[in-house]
Amino acid sequence: MFNFKKNSTNKTLARQRVSRNNLLENRRYLYHSVSLEHAKQQKNIEQINSSINISEVKFASFWTKRLLKLIILSIIIVGMVRFLTLSENAKVEVVNNKSLNYAYQSLVDKQLASSWLNDNKLTISVNGIDQVLENNYPTIVNIKTNIPLIGSQLVLYVTTSAPKLFLSTTYNAGLVDGQGRVVSVNKVDQSSSGLVVVNYPIPIKLSLGDNILPASDVNFISDVSYELSLKKITVSYYEVLPGANELDAYIANTKYYVKFNLQIGQPLVQIGSYLAVIHNLNTNNIVPRQYIDVRIPGRVYYR
């Protein structure tokens, strides 16, 4: 009924035995595989670390260069600011009258402080400073302003009118130029001035820049002094009497003085009259005890 067929191949299932050589070979292969994988991983890590280090170095180098540039730029800016900045205190030298240095310098310093533009060599108003000086001191004839290339102090060289007279009032004394203006009142010394000494006996206090005498009177006094010096006649001092238009010359080593007329001028004519009468008086051994008056043209009086 059932037809069973016998398997012709009788296979016996048995446990196969792995040889020792094969096992060692497998282990060796596995070791090399793991080692290779580990080496690859290590290399990748080193590459990543290397790229991070390079980035950090580049980043640090970038900011170091930026910082260095910023420091250099700051030094340049500070140096330029210091180079262009002017001192608040100027130096003023009055070439022909050192006693005026302080007065002029005070005015210049005040003008420098009046505007922030005057703190810089590029923006300072030199013409403005010169104008202020000339407006306050009309006796100034020249101003040379020196803006220093190296340094910060402004230097001004000022030339004023040359003084012609040493003039003294009942209050003080000063130097007067050819225009009759007071050019100095500080520490004026009569003995060291070397100028014609004039007494002006009125109660007035001299101030710098005052027009104290007419220019014609100054010229008259200078001419009389010069002509008398040529004749070896020494005058101790002159005295101006404003109300009378009179100039009195007090002759040294005598008891008299000579009266001149400032109003009519003509100093040479009046000097000629004086020389003629003094010659005549000396010839006759007459010595005036008070004065010789040559104020009226063509006439001479003495007492």
Write down the pLDDT at residue 73: 77
Residues 6+ positions from 119 with CB-CB distance below 8 Å: 85, 86, 88, 112
> Is the pLDDT confidence value at 1 over 60?
no
Residue 266 · residue 241 · CB < 8 Å: no
Residue type, 126: V
Backbone phi, then psi, for 73, in 5-degree steps? -65, -40
Could you report the per-residue pLDDT of 75-128, keeping only the tens digit for each? 777 766 666 677 888 888 888 777 677 778 888 888 888 888 888 778 888 888
Q: Are strands 173-177 and 163-168 parallel, antiparallel or unpaired?
A: antiparallel
Residues facing residue 137 across a β-bridge: none
Write down the pLDDT at residue 17: 53
Residues 6+ positions from 50 with CB-CB distance below 8 Å: none
DSSP 3-state percent helix, strand, coil across the chain (nearest 5): 45, 20, 35
- Neighbour tally for 289: CB within 10 Å: 10
Compute the distance between CA of residue 99 and CA of residue 80 in angstroms, rounded to an integer: 36
Task: Look up the CATH architecture of domain 214-303.
Answer: 3-Layer(aba) Sandwich (3.40)
| Structural domain boundaries in the chain | 48-84, 91-160, 165-207, 214-303
- The DSSP secondary-structure symbol of 120 reads B
Predicted structure pTM score: 0.63
∠ CA 122-156-137, rounded to 5°: 115
Handedness of CA 160, 165, 169, 173 (dihedral sign): positive
**Choice between 271 and 8, residue whose per-residue pLDDT is larger:** 271
- The DSSP secondary-structure symbol of 226 reads H
DSSP H or E stretch at residue 72? helix 20-84
Write down the pLDDT at residue 150: 80
- Decide: residue 1, CB within 10 A, 0-12 exposed, 13-18 middle, 19+ buried: exposed
**Choice between 264 and 59, residue whose per-residue pLDDT is larger:** 264
- The DSSP secondary-structure symbol of 211 reads B
Could you report the per-residue pLDDT of 23-41, keeping only the tens digit for each? 445 555 555 554 556 556 6
Residues 6+ positions from 104 with CB-CB distance below 8 Å: 92, 94, 133, 137, 156, 158
Average per-residue pLDDT for the chain: 79
Compute the distance between CA of residue 200 and CA of residue 239 in angstroms, rounded to an integer: 6
Compute the distance between CA of residue 279 and CA of residue 243 in angstroms, rounded to an integer: 31
Handedness of CA 259, 261, 265, 269 (dihedral sign): negative
Compute the distance between CA of residue 112 and CA of residue 145 in angstroms, rounded to an integer: 13
Compute the distance between CA of residue 284 and CA of residue 287 in angstroms, rounded to an integer: 9
